[in-house]
Chain A
């Protein structure tokens, strides 16, 4: 356990200059909230220290109605998690982008394998990833309409699943 703690502490130290706030939601996890401008520098810091590998890029839609954060602005946001893993430890760099300016810098120059994750982000959430090498469609059908982002909460499938849970 101590080595897990050390690993996370090391990441925390590395990211200290860039993170706005740090959080330990679980024993093996460290969440680092970042400004968009600091994303590349933070990734660079992890890479240079050879801290783990990029596991995945997760997008989450946070529509304006969200109340769990105290100071959530009225405008909805897309939150993006860059999860890095090292052994059992997981560090998530959390970046937010408002709907009106849904753009993030690409981390592909640092980590080439991020391209698939970034393309997914563009298609499913409508986040503009600036400087990503390939912007062609990856997942959605060719006939899929432009500007419709299925993983945004505002998107409702035409034939929605309605199977109600019965019993207890």
Chain B
């Protein structure tokens, strides 16, 4: 990073960043091979009954704008590459929420030949939302848990290295908080 700031400034900036992030997280949704059940529930959180947009949570299409990746499904072999691409395209810091039993462990699809068995095999997952499918309330709560953790300054430790998908260049400017 070229920009050098003094420590108090840095702290103030971090505070503002966290404030902004916690107040309006943007999320991208990706289905990596789930049955649809979780996806319609995620979509249902956007619609008038649950309406997460009034809390500032916005679901939108481009990974480049997203803070949170909401991912469902047991990660099929074919979707794995796409999932990694989406993850790499997201700017730092990024967080992953795994939704649904099959996203957690493969669930009912355990033993099927075309799956990786869970999102945490591929990406570092911050919040797991169990259920087949989880209710929209549970999904919202999952996001709330993540935000709470961010607010209190707790960042999950990242020990996992994420594979670079074939033909993908690593983004050069990685903004680390």
Contact = CB atoms under 8 A, between A and B. Distances in A.
Let me know if chains A and B touch directly in the complex, using CB atoms closer than 8 Å.
yes
A158 B113 contact: yes
B2 interface: no
Q: Is the interface of A mostly helix, strand, loop or mixed?
A: loop
B110 interface: yes
Interface residues of A, number: 14
B76 interface: yes
Tier of interface size on chain B:
10 to 19
A142 B78 contact: yes
A161 B113 contact: no
Given A141-B76, A144-B77, A150 B113 contact: yes
B111 A143 contact: no
Identify whether the interface residues of B are mostly helix, strand, loop, or mixed.
loop
Interface of A: 140-144, 150, 155, 157-163
B114 interface: yes
A105 B114 CA distance: 29
A160 B78 contact: no
Interface string B106-129: 000011111001000000000000
A161 B77 contact: no
Contacts of A140: 77-78, 114
29 contacts: A140-B77, A140-B78, A140-B114, A141-B76, A141-B77, A141-B78, A141-B80, A141-B114, A142-B78, A142-B81, A143-B77, A143-B81, A144-B77, A150-B113, A150-B114, A155-B113, A157-B111, A157-B112, A157-B113, A158-B113, A159-B110, A159-B111, A159-B117, A160-B111, A161-B110, A161-B111, A161-B112, A162-B111, A163-B110
